Amino acid sequence: MRLQKITDCETDILELAGLGAGPFNLSLAALLDSQPTISTRFFEKKATFGWHPGLMLPGAHMQTSCLKDLVTAVQPTSPWSFISFLVNKGRFYSFLSTEKMVISRTEFVEYLGWVATNLGSVTFDTEIREVSFTDHHFVLKSDHQSFKARNLCLGTGKSPYTPQCTRRWLGPHCFHAGSLMTQDVDLANKRVAVIGGGQTGAEVFLNCLRGQWGKVTQVNWVSRRAGFEPLDESPFTNEYFTPGYVSQFLSLHGDKKERIVNYQKLASDGITPAYLLELYRELYDRTYLGNGDVSWQLLPDRTLADMSLTSTGYYDLRLFNALSECDEQLAADVVILCTGFQNALPEYLEPIREQLTLDQQNRFKLSPSFKVAWDGPEDRRIYAVNAGLHSHGIVEPQLSLTAWRSATIINDLMNDDVFPVNHPPGFIHWQSNTDFLPNGKGENG
Ligand SMILES: Cc1cc2nc3c(=O)[nH]c(=O)nc-3n(C[C@H](O)[C@H](O)[C@H](O)COP(=O)(O)OP(=O)(O)OC[C@H]3O[C@@H](n4cnc5c(N)ncnc54)[C@H](O)[C@@H]3O)c2cc1C
Ligand SMILES: NC(=O)c1ccc[n+]([C@@H]2O[C@H](COP(=O)([O-])OP(=O)(O)OC[C@H]3O[C@@H](n4cnc5c(N)ncnc54)[C@H](OP(=O)(O)O)[C@@H]3O)[C@@H](O)[C@H]2O)c1
């Protein structure tokens, strides 16, 4: 069944309101552009498009193929594909000559911004402060306006995570890397501690070494992980990032899901091997070829356990070394926290919080089609993206299945198979009831 066209002027109620216009909701907006029966608007608090603008560091590349864009996997003919962007910008042939599948973050942001500004369904400079439900529809309030919608998609992303012991010191000399560029930071002649052994930590450490924010005297990179561990981008691991894998993952029970997600961490949060190589070569040159006069240390297997400010104005960090099983001290003038991001229940949901089904960790209960369980009318739906690591698995915070996720939501919203979302199973026989690819050569093949 297709929904009837509902325009703003007929009822003044949107069929779907999106909160946030990061890549996940932007994908939904781009695919919905081909569905004129659905009236939509996506509200974004930033004044213009930006994607983690604090982390737009020189040399940063994507961790996923450029074909994993907003639409291609489910609608390759969409005008909002990355290839369409290349053609529109007149760089298609030059791009082919670069032989790249993984592009710079700068170019990906340009692509996303091009979609966001040309779509016509994204309203910038509008932070949604409150969502309530009345008269069979949602009411979204920003500072100066309110909007009505029958259905919602929550796409407001994650928040920076900072370890408890750092929180009282947060400010110009101790801050999360996500705010790096907005800090207007000057690290010249400073001893810097970079905390966190993921991709952000690697990028911040290398940029500190290279004097991106002024020439530091010392930079120390602390990782809680046992080493500086690579992103696993090998082919069989990439099977985790397929619709077929997600559908079998959905059938598992909670404990098992959590164990698997923890085990798969480096498939999502490791450091790109090419970046590790670049960093290693830089350290080699600095060590043996006299190309550097900045002192540095790599400190894996350490947890930042406590910190204090000395009377002479520097931070005294207490690191627990899990290998030696002892505490160590580290002095730093500036502490940059590359300690990741966390899901938090958005404050704007407070008016309907009691109606949501949350687990003990305040997480949504999500249906396979990303619908949040709540006690409102069944024909009024709340979808949530980037909120289902615990239910949908390791792929959920990543871009890999962005288009597929959006298509799944749209099919559910429209109660129709608008986009193809059912893919054949991959090469791996995960569970005893999993089918093989028809031409596979498994034990049944
Ligand atoms: C630096 C960085 C690089 C990454 N690179 C990759 C990669 O290469 N490949 C990959 O697969 N994954 C990558 N990821 C992981 C993931 O793809 C991103 O985190 C992605 O941004 C998630 O998209 P999102 O739309 O859920 O959230 P976000 O991008 O965080 O977007 C949320 C949007 O909502 C807006 N917003 C928040 N609150 C409100 C409100 N109340 N009202 C209105 N608007 C609001 C925000 O301004 C923001 O624009 C990366 C993550 C980071 C941090
Ligand atoms: N260029 C790019 O494409 C790019 C750039 C940046 C980020 N990303 C992606 O964005 C996501 C987030 O990356 P991220 O690096 O910001 O976060 P992350 O991968 O979650 O890494 C955070 C790191 O901080 C560590 N940590 C947390 N608390 C700590 C403490 N008290 N002491 C010491 N270490 C502590 C974590 O250790 P544990 O692992 O032990 O928890 C982890 O190593 C990832 O998926 C990443 O791949 C991509």
Query: What is the DSSP annotation of 238-250?
Result: HGGGSHHHHHHHT
Q: Which residue is associated with the tokens 């409102």? A: 376
Sign of CA dihedral 132, 138, 142, 147: negative
Which ligand lies nearest the alpha carbon of 109?
1
Ligand number nearest CA of 350 is 1
C-alpha 51 – ligand 1 centre gap (Å): 6
Structure tokens at 425: 């199973």
The pLDDT score that the predictor gives to residue 69 is: 98
The CA angle 82-84-87, to the nearest 5 degrees, is 115
- In this predicted structure, the answer to whether residue 10 has a pLDDT above a threshold of 60 is no
The reply to whether 208 and 320 lie within a common domain is yes
Q: Mind listing the pLDDT tens digit for each residue in 392-440?
A: 999 999 999 999 999 999 999 999 999 999 888 788 988 886 555 545 4
Examine the domain organization and report whether 205 and 354 are in the same domain: no
SS (H, E, C) 282-328: HHHHHHHCCCCCCEEEEECCEEEEEEEECCCCCEEEEEEECCCCEEE
pLDDT band for position 442 (cuts 50, 70, 90): very low
Is the CB–ligand 1 distance for residue 397 below 6 Å? yes
User: 238: burial class by Cβ within 10 Å (0-12, 13-18, 19+)?
Assistant: middle
- Report the pLDDT value the prediction gives residue 433, as an integer from 0 to 100: 67
Domain around 354: 8-158+344-414
Same domain flag for 143 and 179: no
- Decide whether any atom of ligand 2 lies within 6 Å of the 163 Cβ: yes
Confidence of residue 176 (pLDDT cuts 50, 70, 90): very high
**Closest approach atom of ligand 2 to CA 165:** 31
Q: Which atom of ligand 2 is nearest to the CA of 265?
A: 39
Alpha carbon of 430 to ligand 1 centroid (Å): 30
Q: Is 221 in the pocket of ligand 1 (CB under 6 A)?
A: no
Which structure tokens are listed for 157? 């992303």
Q: How would DSSP label each residue in 115-142?
A: HHHHHS-EE-S----EEEEETTEEEEE-
CATH number for the domain that contains residue 119:
3.50.50.60
Q: Is 141 in the pocket of ligand 1 (CB under 6 A)?
A: no
133 belongs to a structural domain: yes
**Chain segment 17-34, per-residue pLDDT in tens:** 999 999 999 999 999 999
- The answer as to whether 207 is a domain residue is yes
- Distance in angstroms between the alpha carbons of the first and the last residue of the chain: 38
Asked if residue 340 lies in contact with residue 178, where contact means CB atoms within 8 angstroms, the answer is: no
CB 389 within 8 A of CB 343: yes
- Number of folded domains in the chain? 2
Distance 155 CA to ligand 1 centre (A): 8
